[in-house]
Structure 1
Amino acid sequence: MSFEVEIGYSSHRGPRPQNEDFAGAVHAPRGEESRGLVAAIADGVSSGGHGLEAAQTTVIGLLGDYFATPDTWEPTVAMDRLIAAQNAWLADHNRRRRHDGAMTTLTALALHGQTYTLAHVGDTRAWRVRAGEGAATPLTVDHALDHPDLRSRLTRAVGLDDHVRVDYLQGELRVGDCFVLSTDGVHGVLKPARVAELALATHAQQASDALVDAAIAAGTRDNATALVIRVLGLDARQLHDELGDARRLAPPPALKVGDMLDGYQITALVADTGVHRLYQAREARTRGLVAIKTLHPSRASDPEERAMLAHEAWLGLRVSGGGAPGFVRVHERGDDASALYTVFDWHGGRTIEQMLRSGPRPGVAQVVDAATQICKALGRLHRHGVVHRDIKPGNLHLGDDGQWRILDLGVALSGREGAAQRELHAGTPSFMNPEQWEGAAPDPGSDLFALGVSLYQWLGGRLPYGEIEPYQGARYRRDPVALSRIRPDVPMWLDHLVRKAVARDPRQRFETAEEMLLALERGAARPVGAPAATPLARRDPALLWKLALAASLVFNALLVYWLLFLPR
């Protein structure tokens, strides 16, 4: 289901000579629909008629700039920066006006993924209305003096002081939720039960009209404005949804065959790495098999591991959405989940690592087909701005349906991961490109290098540069042996292609997955050239110095012998 809302807006000046309320709502721009919607309402306050100006600039500034902030910012961070900037401008404006200043209240609501974020200053209000709850639930607390004669005296407002303190609230979003943003001209005369009754009765526009009309009929003494937002559909879960679950939910205890977990019956323990546990389970409703990944009980309280599992779930939903080939589809966790875990489709089959252990050697056609499908999947991953960081035979899986899939996005980089995951030196040493050992950050090219190493090992039965250990000093002293020398049935074009993928010099490698895919599809028709041999000075610079030192020692030894022992 995609993100969909109804929006209604109504405003009336009431008995006041001027309407100083202002409200609006803006959807995310095309291509960024997953960022949802932001809405805001403001009630301007002034002594010289500039309240509307304060309300308008505050709402328009927030709505206009919210989606211009980086999408890596949390909604609270984006709102806080924008509100603080508007407050500084308005406070400075008021200092220059002196006796003719203006300020405004502000209540802003961002809907994103399956979560809402609320920012609030002053005495405008936000309400959440759900069917069956009877009355509207207030989500804000007024920042005004609690005295009948001083209700108009605000303790917080945008433009009141040099620094503004904003209240924030985040919560779960459901289909059917109705949010009402109102000024005190509405909620000052309408009770919560009446707000709920009017908000749920009709379309959002009719509901906002009804709220304002009811406030006018009830004798409000202020401007009356209502903004109604009704949620009709939700987008896929976003990273903040997953991170919220990671903080709120605990991983399940160790499960045994036959145990139930939220409608899934455990049928087997597939893997236990000491960090994660992978179970096979059967869904009670559909009787279909699924895979469940969760943290090992010994890591259950580690917040970084929880965040990494949440990031993997979100990333899986993002790259496998719509049944995209090349990845295992991730199931959205239900609202009633009792523990932290991720559910994947179950696919029978084997990884390249399992094929290497059980033999026989793969045919050339099988390797080319696998490399083609995996290159397409890697290209899709890189277009999402994601680097896998752990491409290896154990993470390349051929399903019983004939589809190759890339497994395990647990250490992938998306630009939205936490600092701990970003700084983690992840990956399997023998499949890491030389630049990473020299301090370079992983990039799409490192995934292509790792794929080349995986193909070389699958075809040749050994690693191009041998087993590499983290403590090893000189890791790439020799160029890989030609695959055609190890296996005469490997065609020259495929030998050159694989060796190009694992070349010691990054300038000789494929730059993108699409370039490697094109070379695979052309095959022998337009073969790529074999990479040039790496000069000794590049493969092992220290060896040159050692040889020079050895030559110098030999020369000096001969010179001493000539001076001391040979006749002159």
Structure 2
Amino acid sequence: MSFEVDIGYSSQRGPRDVNEDFAGTVHAPPGEEARGLIAAIADGVSTGGHGLEAAQTTVMGLLADYFATPDTWEPTAALDRLIGAQNAWLADHNRRRQGGGTALTTLTALVLHGQSYTLAHVGDTRAWQVRDAGEPALPLTQDHAFEHPDLRSRLTRAIGLDDQVRVDYAQGEVRVGDCFVLTSDGVHGALKAQQLARFALQGTALQGSEALVRAALAAGSRDNATALVIRVTGLDARQLDDELGDVRRLAPPPALKVGDMLDGYAITARVADTGVHLLYQARHPVTRELVAIKTLHPSRAGDPEERAMLAHEAWLGLRVSARADSGFVRVHERAEDASALYVVFDWHGGRTLEQLQKTGPRGATAEVIGAAIAIAKALGRLHRQGVVHRDIKPANLHLGEDGRWRILDLGVALSGREGEAQRELHAGTPSYINPEQWQGADADAGSDLFALGVTLYQWLAGRLPYGEIEPYQLARYRRDPAALSRIRPDVPVWLDHLVCKAVARDPRQRFETAEELVLALERGASRPVGPPGHTPLIRRDPAALVKIALAVSLLLNALLVLWLLFLPR
């Protein structure tokens, strides 16, 4: 079922001269419908006539920027970053005003995503949930105002009040038929929770919002009255929490053989068995197109951490592969009536880079450059969403029959939403892991770029820059890799310098972003990167100076003994 809502909005200034309330909603842009929608309401605080300015800029900024944040960010992380930035901007403007009052506002924001909602709240605007007209509306927020009757209009928290703002967050489940109501204090200050529920469910959402405002003003409201009504008529695409729910509900299927059926998918081949995962080729029950099905090996079926990692991979894959040119294999939405835990991918004929290296000669430079640009662009898209792959290597780079390079296997990727066990896992293939990780540093975007550099070096040279690395063999990194142009004279010098820069031992000498690497590859010889500098001995081997000093000391002591014992005085 697609995500569908009925939205109604009404606002009246009431007895006030100016309406300083502001509210709005924004749906996710085309192609990102799975991100749902965001709604917000703000009530400007009038101290010098700038309340409307504060409310309007806060709501419009939040609605304009929310869907520009990475899709993989958890909603509270995106809201916190945006609200914090708006608060700092408003507080700074308030400090600059001299005798002209301040611009403050309350804010209540609601994000509907998947089968869940997320609330962010500052001040005394409110959010309500209504499921039955016969029951009182359920308040989802708590006012940030003084409890004394004479001070209830005085806020303890507001956007723009201080340099730092503390935001309340809440999350919960959404069902079809739920009604969410955002109100300013001009509405909920005059109506009881029972009345809120009854009026909000009258007619359409627009009629319900108008009924709320009319009833509040008729009940004697002395403030601006604003109501935003959102009725859920269809749920959105699945989110990570939904995938984790399947982890608890579903079990991986038993080992399958050719001809077996899995929820309508006809198994046509077993592609791989890693001991942790099984990968099958299958035929789609409706389109009859080939797909790939990934599930857990029966020996790992009961491992809750492996199941959570598979759920995370499915959720992450849906997000990063939404675009046709994403550079990742598209993941299919799991059917609501799925009987087992598995992930379905598009099937692409072709071979991985590892397979190409085993069956053919070392890559031609033009071929390597084209592939590197495509892969680096895909990595850039991944990193801009806050995701680190952690296992870039030839086996996870695939050239399809359509001529496109794709990155495979997000099973150990970090998105900020993964479980603790996955986050603490020292993932990756040792020979492609940057030296800093062996010294305790966390994986980051630079780790992926180093691994890509190692892959390119191996593709061109036919060998790894630092040789086969076993865990904690740091001695391998005490020498600079041989120049590619010495191994292959046909490799242009600019490409030699570029690849050596990508695999430099010192992270400060490497490319900082995938975009920088892409730019260097596209410019090529027209604007080449400089040759990498030789790493000083003290950085290659911090104990080298101690060793040299010890050797010199031993030599001097030997000479002294020789002089004392054997030479005439």
- Provide TM-score, normalisation by structure 2: 0.70
Matches within 5 A, 1:66-465: 111-116=112-117, 126=129, 128=131, 170-171=172-173, 173=175, 177=177, 179=179, 204-206=205-207, 229-231=230-232, 235-246=236-247, 248-257=248-257, 258-465=259-466
Conservation of the 8 A alpha-carbon contact between 1:290 and 1:345:
yes
Cα displacement string for residues 368-427 of structure 1 (whole angstroms, at most 9, x for unaligned residues):
111111111111112212221111111111111100011111222222323332222222
Alignment coverage as a number of residue pairs: 491
Cα separation, 1, equivalents of 2:6 and 2:463: 60
3-state SS in 1 of match to 2:431: helix
Q: After superposition, give the CA deviation of every residue in 1:137-179 in whole Å (9 maximum; x if it has no partner).
A: 989899xxxxxxxxxxxxx9999999xxx9x9844655xx453
Letter of the 2:448 partner, please give it: D
How many Å separate the matches in 1 of 2:447 and 2:423? 15
Structure 2 match to 1:6: 6
Q: Which of 233-242 and 424-433 deviates more?
A: 233-242
Decide which of 25, 28, 33 is 1:27's aligned counterpart. 25
In the alignment, is the contact (CA less than 8 A) between 1:249 and 1:338 conserved in 2?
Answer: no
8 Å CA contact 1:116, 1:171 repeated in 2: yes
Retained in 2: the 8 A contact 1:186–1:211? no
Partners of 1:428 and 1:237 in 2: how far apart? 31
Partner of 2:549 in structure 1? 548
Cα 1:356–1:566 shift into 2, 3 Å: same
CA contact (8 A) 2:137 2:196 kept: no
Distance 1:139 1:463, change over 3 A: farther
Distance 1:3 1:111 in 2: 9
Is 1:526–2:527 an aligned residue pair? Answer: yes
Distance 2:136 2:460 in 1: 62
Give the C-alpha shift of residue 361 in structure 1: 2.0
The residue matched to 2:323 in structure 1 has which SS? helix
Residue in 2 that maps onto 1:20: none
Corresponding letter in the other structure for 1:256: L
Q: Give the whole-Å Cα distance in 2 for the aligned partners of 1:523 and 1:212.
A: 64
Query: Which secondary structure state, in structure 2, belongs to the residue aligned with residue 455 of structure 1?
Result: helix
In structure 2, do the counterparts of structure 1 residues 556 and 344 end up closer, same or farther at CA, with 3 Å as the change threshold? same
Q: Per-residue displacement from partner, 1:178-213 (whole Å, max 9, x unpaired)?
A: 537699999979999x999x76xx6x3246779999
User: How many Å apart are 1:270 and its aligned residue?
Assistant: 1.8
**Separation in structure 2 between the aligned mates of residue 473 and residue 562 of structure 1, nearest angstrom:** 41
- Whether the 8 Å contact between 2:279 and 2:295 is mirrored in structure 1 is yes
Distance 2:371 2:61 in 1: 46
2:526 is paired with a residue whose SS is coil
SS of 2:543's partner is helix
Change (3 A) 1:25 1:232: farther
Q: Take 2:10 and 2:453, find their aligned partners in 1: how far apart are those partners?
A: 62
Structure showing greater Rg = 1
Cα pair 2:129 2:138 within 8 Å, conserved: no
1:272 CA drift (Å): 2.2
Name the SS of the counterpart of 1:510 in structure 2. coil
1:71-122 CA-partner distances (Å, limit 9, x unpaired): 966779x99xx9xxxxxxxxxxxxxxxxxxxxxxxx9975223435799xxx
Partner of 1:101: none
TM-score, structure 1 length as denominator? 0.70
Any idea what SS the aligned residue of 1:524 has? helix
Give the structure 2 partner of residue 49 of structure 1.
Answer: none
What does 1:460-479 align with in structure 2 at a 5 Å threshold? Answer: 460-479=461-480
Q: 1:478 to 1:11 in 2, by over 3 A?
A: closer
Q: Is the 8 A contact 1:476 1:504 kept in 2?
A: yes
Structure 1 residues 240 and 314: alpha-carbon distance in aligned structure 2, compared to 1, 3 A threshold:
same
Instruction: State how 1:460-539 maps to structure 2 within 5 Å.
Output: 460-539=461-540
CA distance in 1, matches of 2:250, 2:368: 42
CA contact (8 A) 1:25 1:37 kept: no
1:172–1:353 distance in 2 versus 1, CA, 3 Å: farther
Q: CA RMSD in A?
A: 4.9
Distance 1:137 1:278, change over 3 A: farther
Deviations 1:191-247 (A, max 9, x none): 99x999x76xx6x3246779999x9xxxxx999x9975334665543333333333x
Does the 8 Å CA contact 1:251/1:295 hold for their aligned counterparts?
Answer: no
Measure the CA separation in 2 of the matches of 1:267 and 1:281.
5
Q: Gaps spanning 5+ residues in structure 2: where?
A: 13-20, 42-55, 84-107, 121-126, 149-167, 183-187
> Within 1, Cα distance between the matches of 2:22 and 2:260?
50
Give distance in 2, aligned partners of 1:546 and 1:285: 70
Q: Which stretch of structure 1 is more off in the superposition, 458-467 or 253-262?
A: 253-262
Call closer, same or farther: CA 1:195–1:428 in 2, change over 3 Å.
same
TM-aligned CA distance change 1:543 to 1:402, over 3 Å: same
Taking the TM superposition and a 5 Å limit, the aligned residue runs for 1:550-565 are 550-565=551-566
Percent identical pairs in the alignment equals 66
Q: 1:25 to 1:334 in 2, by over 3 A?
A: farther
Decide whether aligned partners of structure 1 residues 397 and 180 sit closer, same or farther in structure 2, where only a CA change above 3 A counts.
closer
